[in-house]
Amino acid sequence: MSTEREHRQCVIIGSGPAGYTAAIYAARAELKPLMYEGMQPGGQLTITTEVDNFPGYPEGVTGPVIMEDLKKQAERFGTEMRFGNIANADFSKRPFLLVDDDDKEILAETVIIATGASAKWLGIPSEQEYNGYGVSACATCDGYFYRDKVVAVVGGGDTAAEEATYLSKLVKKVYLIHRRDELRASKAMQQKVFNTEKIEMVWDSGIKEIVGEQKGFAKAVTGVIVENLKSGEERRIDLDGVFIAIGHKPNTDIFKGQVELFENGYIKTVPGSTKTNIDGVFACGDVQDQTYRQAVTAAGSGCMAAIDAERFISSNE
């Protein structure tokens, strides 16, 4: 392992709305932040097509454009960007020791974790083929584009029930496809689903294939092939969009055993702040947000993390 070490006031692990906003604020506070962007700079929004609910874009915008704008703004104030990951982190003492995937060692006075969360997918090829062209993992992000259309939601927990209920207010019909014969969602959420006429349950079933067609330069979902897992019977359901709601996995593996996590892997932060259980380590965005998971809330928490980091450094000088 390399013995070369550099010393930094603030290292931001991960990009996306949270990381880039943290970088903007940290750079303006003269912390000279170093950001590791990960292997997917910009995070989940880079695989999102149209975004209509991010403030400041009255005509709508694509996810990659938002991320590029935020990145340029962070760089304008002096953030240093590096492509790649932090492979190991030692938070046992300050300055914290970080090792990247090129074995470069960095000593950091503060660390902002903005590694986000990854949507869980079904794992079928057609799902990736139509991702962003009728396949989504966020109803509140993309539901607006399916007004008066027919969609499916896949899943059986609270997230799936919430997304199906939310979409039912916008669309013509929602098929809620679940692998079992009863929902795992809370009783209250189940009642909402069962009391909503626009939602039709498709029990004991999974999606075998998502089908679509080429429309000009883009693709469009036109239906799904659903398999009954008990009988093996297959049928096609014609629809316009598929929302995968089988959960998210926070990207926290390298922090296990150091930063306090919830059982599902999300980072615990002090309410009303981005502080973790380790002084000088902060977490923002989807890596600690199990509730909202929106670009704008991630950006807001990135702002909070940078302010928390700046105040921490000031109080320890």
Measured CA angle at 273 (ends 271, 279), to 5 deg: 105
Cα–Cα distance measured from residue 130 to residue 209, given in angstroms and rounded to the nearest whole number: 11
All structural domains of the chain: 5-118+248-316 (3.50.50.60), 121-244 (3.50.50.60)
Cα–Cα distance measured from residue 172 to residue 168, given in angstroms and rounded to the nearest whole number: 7
Closest CA relative to residue 173, chosen from 154, 193, 189, 151: 151
β-bridge partners, 207: 226
What are the catalytic residues? 138, 141-142
pTM of the predicted structure, to 2 decimals: 0.78
| Per-residue pLDDT in tens (0 to 9) along the chain, 317 residues | 445 689 999 999 999 999 999 999 999 999 999 999 987 777 777 766 678 889 999 998 988 899 999 999 999 999 999 999 999 999 999 999 999 999 999 999 999 999 999 888 999 999 999 998 999 998 888 899 999 999 999 999 988 998 999 999 999 999 999 999 999 998 999 999 999 999 999 999 999 999 999 888 889 999 999 999 999 999 999 999 999 999 889 999 999 999 999 999 999 999 999 999 999 999 999 999 988 888 999 999 999 999 999 999 999 97
